[in-house]
Amino acid sequence: MADKASRALVIYGDGLAPHISSSHSNLHSLATRASCGFLSLRHSPPLSESMNAKGIGELAQLLDAHDAYMVWKGEQVDLDANQDFKKDSMVQTISERFMELRAAIFTTCSSVESFGRSLGFSVLRFDELIKNDTHELLDAVSTASELLRLLGFSGGEILERSDFDLVFLHVGDVEKAKDMKVGIANFDIEWINALVGGILQIAQPGSVTASRLHFSVVMSFGAVTKVEGDSYSTLISNNKTDSDLSLLCPHQSYTMKGGKLLNDMRHHHPMLVAQWQEAVTRRDMAGAFSFKEFKENGGNLTIPADRFLHEVAFKLWKAPKYGA
């Protein structure tokens, strides 16, 4: 644990995990110095529902706002016996939940904008961050500098006051995902790869930025089917041992919440997550940003996606520790 509160930058590639290739060297470089693992998701809505609903639903889980999302959609949610259903009170803002945490979200998706505002995020557009319309990859360092400035990192120093404690980038337009050309998704992942390179160039080992910046990159697979799940399963096989004790294998922790078994957890195609903060996160043996590397060599295994934001808030001294 750091001796001072961190400030967090999260890059979320919505549906971009399948587009990561060996050429994305900055993402792979991050994985080699980060703590890597999986964020498990609940089952997606039926395929008859819009891609928009699927994308927002997964983002809602990442922001620990599944129930708020259901309320936002106008649907009933499961409540405790002593809790009345009041729509307004069900949607707590992020500052109410995490000790006045100041958070911003960048996105080009109008649905994400609306949902983000309902959660208390300051919603910003990418054109406020990037000074030209082409998202020029050569501007990666200046874009990274501007992001870090919002968090109070400037000129190799960290200011006592900053605009935000957490900046969240949502990349990938779920409203256009169904018709998205492969070339558009490839450009998004190229842009993220360049931006990660810019962040790593600024946050050099030994710098104040590296010691105080909690940096996360999350990649999801987007809409998937159960048939496709066999190649990306998070389940631990019992076939690796001949012991009869394998029959007593307990439920994996990501399928539990509050001591209760979650029956709607998906055991395939989790989000991939790499988190890095110098001298704070544990470096594992992952050699690339990929499902295979994270499963074989990652140090974080699998946690529910809705615990991610709580873990980040803990690094910012805005929440108690969750779990071990």
Task: Flag whether 322 is in a domain.
Answer: no
pLDDT at 267: 82
Whether residue 240 is contained in a domain is answered as no
Domain annotation covers residue 131: yes
- What mean pLDDT comes out for the span 171-180? 63
Task: Give the per-residue pLDDT at 194.
Answer: 94
Q: Are strands 260-261 and 256-257 parallel, antiparallel or unpaired?
A: antiparallel
CB 185 within 8 A of CB 9: no
Identify the CA nearest to 104 among candidates 117, 91, 92.
117
> Taking all residues of the chain, what is their mean pLDDT, rounded to a whole number?
82
pLDDT at 87 over 50: no
Tokens of 124: 């910003």
Please choose, from the candidates 97, 79, 36, 18, the residue with its C-alpha nearest in 3D space to the C-alpha of residue 303: 36
pLDDT of residue 133: 44
CATH number, domain with residue 16: 3.40.720.10
β-partners of residue 274 are 36, 217
Is position 324 within any domain? no
pLDDT of amino acid 237: 55
Q: How many CB atoms lie within 10 A of CB 89?
A: 10
Nearest CA to 189 out of 135, 232, 128, 115 is that of 135
Range of the domain at 73: 7-78+85-235+246-315
Whether the predicted pLDDT of 208 surpasses 70: yes
- The predicted model scores a pTM of 0.85
How sure is the predictor about 104, in pLDDT bands with cuts at 50, 70 and 90?
A: very high
Tell whether the model's pLDDT for residue 131 goes beyond 80: no
- With a CB cutoff of 8 Å and minimum separation 6, the contacts of 199 are 9, 144, 147, 148, 213, 215
For β-strands 157-158 and 153-154, DSSP reports them as: antiparallel
Q: What is the pLDDT of residue 227?
A: 56
CA distances from 163 to 122, 149, 150, 155, 323 (A): 10, 8, 5, 16, 30
Least confident of 91-105, 234-248, 270-284: 234-248
Residue 320 belongs to a domain: no
CA pair distance 54, 56, nearest whole angstrom = 6
User: How many C-beta atoms lie closer than 10 Å to residue 224's C-beta?
Assistant: 18
Residue 265 has pLDDT above 60, yes or no: yes
Query: Per the structure, how many domains does the chain have?
Result: 1
pLDDT in tens, 15-69: 999 999 999 999 999 999 999 999 999 876 554 455 455 668 899 999 998 777 7
Rounded to whole angstroms, the Cα distance separating 312 from 7 reads 9
The two tokens of residue 15 are 């549906």
